[in-house]
Structure formats: C-alpha cells, structure tokens
C-alpha cells in the first residue's frame, strides 16, 4: 500500500535546491536568450534531454516533432506526469535585461519575425529540470514512476496533440495524475489554484469578407469590404454584451483587421481575425454560432458578391482541474508552504492545451499558477489600484523576477509530485 509523502519527505528532496539554483538560473538565462518558435524548439529540447540523461532518466526525443519525455522508474507505486512547455512567441522583447532575446526567425508564413520568451515558458523548463533533478537525487524518499514531459507548441495549440498523435499514450505508461503550472502575474513566492475550470476554452477564427474594388473617388461602383468589416467588428461586440448572460462569461477580441494597400483604392476583400474565450460548452456553442450569423448577415446586407469564408485557426480546450486531485494538491501545498503563500484563484481567461493530456488518458489533471512579480512591486501596485499596469504574459515587458520565482516553481512541482509518489 502507498501513503502520501509527508512535508518532511518534500524537505528531504528539496534540501539540495539551494546548491542547484545557480545552475538553474544559468540554464534559464540561456534559454531566455535563445527562444524558439512553436514546433521548432530543437535547441531547447536538446538542453532538456541532456539534463534528463544526466539525472538518470530514460529519455525519448522527437515525440510530436520536438517533444521530450523522460521516465524515472523507482519501484512499485503511482505514475506521476509533470509537464512544461518550451516555445516562445513572435514578439520583440523590450525588458532591457542583460540576457534579453535578440533572436529573429522565419515563421510559418515565411516572414522574419522577432522571437521572445514573453510568456514564461523558459521559466517552466528550468522549473521542470530542477524538480526532475532533485527527485532523481532523492529516490530513497519516494516510490513510483516519474514521467516528465517537455512539450512543444503550446502557443499554437499544436504541441500536446502532436505528442498524443505521435503515440504518447501507447509508448509511455498511463499516469495516475497529470500536473502542470504556469508563471503569471502575482507575488513571487506564491502558488494559486482551484478546483474546476482553471483556464478558458479558446477559439481563433479568420473571416474573409468579399466586396468589389473601385477607385476611392467612385464608391458607388464598389461593394466596400472595409465598411462591411467595420460593421462586423462593431456588431460582434454585442454578442458578449447582449447575448451572454451576466452570470456567464465570454471574451471576444478582434486582433486583426486587414484591408487594402492604398488610401484611394477600395479593395476587393478584408480579413478579420478574432479570438473567443469561454468557460462553458453551451456558451461557446452560442458565441460561435452568433459570430457566423452576424458575419453572414452583414455580408448579405452589404450586397457582398459571395458568402464570407470563416476558417478556424486554432482551438484550446477548457482546462478543468479534477476536484479530488486539486484538494490533494492544495493540502500538500498548505502542509509545505506557509499559509500566506497558498492562494485560491478563480479561472483565468488565458488558455492552455495542458488539459489535452488528462483528457486523452482519461485521468485527473491539476494546473496551478506561480506568481512572478516582485512582492513589494505587486503590493504597491495593488494598493494604488494599478495592477492592470503590471506587464502581463505576452507583453514585450513581461519578465518574472528570478527569485523566489525559480525556487517556488521547483518546490511546487516536487511537492505536487510527492502528493502521489508515496513511500512504501
């Protein structure tokens, strides 16, 4: 029979964390300065694989193109999966850090773009390397199998599914629990989570509206797709304000509106790209149907020569924390961290493909957040009512403070894993 590992066991595993921190900090800075776009994380994956081999793991690379899976079998017991994502974003970093990214790369459209770790996935890699190393060093304190997964392509919702499609479920043991975490805005040194929905479902769409081009001085000869697009954008905002109940939640954001090449030429078409976030399957269905209804109606009202093209771009599933497993994590966190470091948080409007793993294996999963802001800076911003002014994930200015963010993330993964990897 297996019993949950006590806080003393967690302390025993983490006793060498202080000695490991300089190495983890150097690894983090290196990955931060050398970011890679989604599904192209070859350098980062190589670093992760080398670290796992050094720690004694069975390592499999190129799972789902660039994914890495490490297995550490340590006797009879549960199997725990810990996951970190590796990819960066096509964003020019503006943090001014000494190790800031100056990298550019060619994206899927063949365009050269700046690349930066402006979401914190570099921190996630360092956390998982640290936790994997410490758990390997202290195998006498736990029993079971540890499976660590470095996942590609989270930012494009490709990576988790790519690993699953590449035989993840057949090639590796079925975990009893899947655990993951994300650095977010919040006081460094704190962890936060809750049972139930924890990150939103997300749907991205491209809409192409068709008109008839003409000279800017003769609009009567045109069917203006710019006006059509403007009407669509404004009308789409009424879906959340007038079609979603106040007790529900949804966000609809138009991030791209493209039309024309010259100020005195009415173009033939216009492109809209939008993103929808929801926390309920019924609300999601209604919002997506309303988008289609409005887009087609506005095109018809404008006399468009053909129906709009609505193309799905990517989709993230609703990420739901298992209630029983979440309570177990919370209990383990409260037993290890001081009470003021363990926070309860509602669902975040951000989205993640982390939930794909638990869904595919049909096992419980838990995802939580680790604060990345200097506690004094965060407290001052909160007191002044200026939390919204702190750089958030995907901002060119997003940069978690190294300490205690680094050690807190490693501690949380170790404590979470040990909530299942008990002693015999």
356 annotated ligand-binding residue:
no
Neighbours of 55 (CB within 10 A): 18
- Report helix angle 405-418 to 323-336, nearest 10: 120
* 8 A C-beta contact, residue 87 and residue 152: yes
Characterize the bridge pairing of strands 196-199 and 319-321. Answer: antiparallel
Q: What are phi and psi of 266, to 5 degrees?
A: -80, 120
> Is 331 marked as a binding-site residue?
no
Is residue 222 within 8 A of residue 313, CB to CB? The reply is: no
Alpha carbons 187 and 219: distance in angstroms, whole number: 55
Residues 6+ apart with CB under 8 A from 307: 210, 296, 299
For the record, the structure tokens of 144 come out as 């079971």
Q: Are 362 and 320 contacting, i.e. CB atoms less than 8 angstroms apart?
A: no
Please measure the distance between the N-terminal and C-terminal CA atoms of the chain and give it in whole angstroms. 6
Q: How far apart are CA 190 and CA 340, in angstroms?
A: 8
CA separation for the pair 315, 325 (Å, rounded)? 26
Q: In whole angstroms, give the CA distance from residue 4 to residue 171.
A: 27
Is 182 annotated as belonging to a binding site?
yes
Half-sphere exposure of 219 (CA within 13 A, CB side): 7
Which residue in 94, 109, 123 sits closest to 27, CA to CA? 123
Nearest to 351 by CA among 313, 298, 323: 313
Question: How many of the other CB atoms lie within 10 Å of CB of 328?
Answer: 18
Q: How far apart are CA 195 and CA 174, in angstroms?
A: 22
Whether residue 344 is annotated as binding a ligand: the answer is: no
Which residue ranges make up the annotated binding site?
119, 121, 155, 182
Which residue ranges make up the annotated binding site for Mn(2+)?
119, 121, 155, 182
């Amino acid at each position: 029979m297996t019993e949950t590992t006590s806080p003393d066991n967690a302390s025993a595993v983490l006793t060498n964390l202080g000695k490991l921190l300089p190495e983890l900090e150097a690894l983090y800075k290196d990955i931060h300065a050398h970011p890679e776009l989604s599904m192209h994380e070859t350098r980062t994956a190589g670093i992760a694989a080398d670290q796992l081999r050094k720690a004694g793991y069975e390592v499999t690379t190129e799972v789902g193109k660039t994914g890495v899976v490490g297995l550490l079998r340590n006797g009879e017991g549960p199997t725990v999966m810990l996951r970190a994502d590796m990819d960066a974003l096509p964003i020019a970093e503006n943090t001014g850090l000494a190790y800031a990214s100056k990298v550019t790369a060619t994206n899927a459209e063949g365009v050269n773009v700046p690349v930066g770790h402006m979401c914190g996935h570099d921190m996630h890699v360092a956390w998982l390397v640290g936790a994997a190393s410490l758990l390997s060093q202290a195998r006498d304190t736990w029993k079971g199998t540890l499976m660590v997964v470095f996942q590609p392509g989270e930012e494009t919702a490709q990576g988790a599914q790519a690993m699953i499609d590449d035989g993840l479920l057949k090639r590796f043991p079925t975990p009893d629990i899947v655990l993951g975490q994300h650095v977010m805005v919040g006081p460094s040194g704190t962890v936060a989570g809750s049972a139930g929905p924890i990150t939103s479902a997300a749907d991205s769409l491209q809409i192409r509206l068709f008109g008839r081009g003409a000279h800017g001085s003769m609009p009567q000869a045109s069917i203006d797709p710019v006006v059509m697009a403007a009407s669509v954008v404004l009308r789409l905002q009424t879906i959340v304000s007038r079609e979603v109940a106040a007790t529900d939640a949804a966000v609809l954001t138009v991030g791209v509106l493209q039309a024309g090449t010259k100020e005195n030429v009415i173009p033939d078409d216009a492109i809209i790209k939008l993103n929808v976030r929801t926390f309920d399957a019924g609300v999601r269905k209604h919002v997506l149907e309303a988008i289609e209804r409005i887009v087609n109606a506005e095109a018809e009202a404008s006399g468009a020569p053909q129906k709009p093209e609505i193309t799905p771009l990517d989709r993230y599933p609703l990420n739901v924390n298992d209630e029983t497993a979440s309570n177990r994590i919370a209990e383990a966190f409260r037993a290890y961290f001081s009470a003021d470091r363990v926070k309860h948080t509602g669902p975040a409007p951000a989205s993640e493909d982390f939930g794909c793993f638990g869904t595919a294996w049909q096992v419980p999963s838990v995802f939580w957040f680790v604060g990345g802001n200097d506690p004094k800076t965060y407290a001052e911003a909160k007191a002044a009512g200026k939390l919204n002014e702190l750089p958030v994930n995907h901002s060119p200015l997003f940069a978690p403070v190294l300490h205690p963010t680094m050690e807190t993330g490693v501690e949380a993964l170790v404590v979470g894993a040990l909530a299942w990897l008990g002693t015999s």
